[in-house]
Amino acid sequence: LATRLKKTNADVVKKLMLLGVMANANQVVDFDTAALVCEEFKVKYEREIVVTIEERLIDDSDDADENLEPRSPVVVVMGHVDHGKTSLLDAIRDAHVTATEAGGITQHIGAYKVNKNGRDITFLDTPGHAAFTAMRARGANITDIAILVVAADDGIMPQTVEAINHAKAAGVSIIVAINKMDKPEANPERVKQALTEHGLVPEEWGGDVICVPVSALKHEGIEELLEMVLLTADMLDLKANPNRAAKGTVVEAKLDKGRGPVATLLVQNGTLHAGDVIIAGTVVGRVRAMTDDKGRKITDAPPSTPVEIIGLSDVPAAGDIFHAVADEKMARELAEQRRQEEKEKQFKSTQKVSLDDLFSQI
């Protein structure tokens, strides 16, 4: 109760005492008592009912260790403009997806899976900065590993530094791909020197940052880079519980003329099934059809799987967290309450602006 009220335990205990309830910090109080405390703090407690519905609907409890199974790593590519992010993603995809697919047609769904040494790696195909911004804005944690692309002929640039800061703030592991090694002006030693100045000390210099020289253009160093991704994933010991209701993040979403709202989801825990009801932010819907990154129809998507789904009532926002839920009616109720909360927030922020305007006029 104290956490929800944003008060200290002592504050709540004090109010309880004033109300004649002798309680300690770990005691359970009933709803009516909690309501009285809310009134004491002049906090509207209908809000608590919102949380209760969310809690009843969404099981966010931690998984017991024995239910956890290894999952594949989720990787994002970041770096300065023109340093070769898209070329690198294309090179990885060309080598590992298109060549093995009949016809070689890969659908763009904002994320794809590659297989290396019999193991999967999921790449988010959205611009790295966008993925991180969305993720931080919603408090979601999407990626495990960031590949920082640095052009060997250009070195560390402003957006490289920005990417380093994003990745550090999100607590993800960084692997550096020193790209454009085919260029005569390539100077990897200078890149490593500059990385060190930003707190990323290469392994060969006694630090813990893996640097892999690559040429996205000539498709060189790609296998080594993927091996390093798997090595890093091993150290992270990534796990999830495939036997629970699915939870994950909206990677991309758009309105398709023929198919309606189309969303690319990354399943992060649990397994998403065709026919599941999901809530993503303020949007609810039933997964009518689900396709993988190769455009194949699938019915089950385990952790670390990117899928494209149709069936939502509206277009969710990239970065929204989604949950598969058992009760569609309750999900709609929760969505409505979230919409209401959003409105309130917007109202408050416009009030704040007008107050600021007022002050600036004085």
Binding residues: 79-86, 125-129, 179-182
Q: Closer CB to Mg ion, residue 87 or residue 305?
A: 87
Q: Is 83 in the site for ligand GTP (CB under 6 A)?
A: yes
Q: Closer CB to ligand GTP, residue 75 or residue 284?
A: 75
Shortest reach from residue 80's CB to ligand GTP, in Å:
7
3-state secondary structure the chain: CHHHHCCCHHHHHHHHHHCCCCCCCCCCCCHHHHHHHHHHCCCCCHHHHHHHHHHHHCCCCCCCHHHCEECCCEEEEEECCCCCHHHHHHHHHHHHCHHHCHHHCCCCCCEEEEEECCEEEEEECCCHHHHHHHHHHHCCCCCCEEEEEEECCCCCCHHHHHHHHHHHHHCCEEEEEEECCCCCCCCHHHHHHHHHHCCCCEHHHCCCEEEEECECCCCECHHHHHHHHHHHHHHHCCEECCCCECEEEEEEEEEECCCEEEEEEEEEECEEECCCEEEECCEEEEEEEEECCCCCECCEECCCEEEEEEEECCCCCCCCEEEEECCHHHHHHHHHHHHHHHHHHHHHHHHHHHHHHHHHHC
Strand partners, 253: 263
Q: Is 72 in the site for ligand GTP (CB under 6 A)?
A: no
Q: Closer CB to Mg ion, residue 86 or residue 159?
A: 86
Q: Is 98 in the site for Mg ion (CB under 5 A)?
A: no
For 264, phi then psi, to 5°, come to -95, 120
**List 86, 133, 159, 193, residue binding Mg ion (CB under 5 A):** 86
Shortest reach from residue 175's CB to Mg ion, in Å:
18
The kind and range of the H/E element at 17 are helix 9-18
Q: Which residue is nearest to Mg ion (CB)?
A: 86
Shortest reach from residue 149's CB to Mg ion, in Å:
10
Shortest reach from residue 87's CB to ligand GTP, in Å:
3
Give CA 276 to chain center in angstroms: 21
Shortest reach from residue 149's CB to ligand GTP, in Å:
6
Of 161-220, which residues contact ligand GTP (CB under 6 A)? 179-180, 182-183, 215-217
Of 251-310, which residues contact ligand GTP (CB under 6 A)? none
For ligand GTP, which stretch binds (CB under 6 A), given 84-92, 130-138, 243-251, 265-273? 84-92
For Mg ion, which stretch binds (CB under 5 A), given 16-24, 82-90, 190-198, 220-228? 82-90
Compose the 86-125 pattern: x for residues touching ligand GTP by CB under 6 A, - for all others.
xx--------------------------------------
Residue 183 touches which of Mg ion, ligand GTP, none (Cβ within 5-8 Å per kind):
ligand GTP
Q: Closer CB to ligand GTP, residue 65 or residue 185?
A: 185
Q: Closer CB to ligand GTP, residue 83 or residue 96?
A: 83
Q: How far apart are CA 203 and CA 183, in angstroms?
A: 24
Q: Closer CB to ligand GTP, residue 181 or residue 246?
A: 181
Shortest reach from residue 218's CB to Mg ion, in Å:
18
Residue 82 touches which of Mg ion, ligand GTP, none (Cβ within 5-8 Å per kind):
ligand GTP
Q: How far apart are CA 294 and CA 105, in angstroms?
A: 8
Q: Which residues bind ligand GTP (CB under 6 A)?
A: 79, 81-87, 179-180, 182-183, 215-217
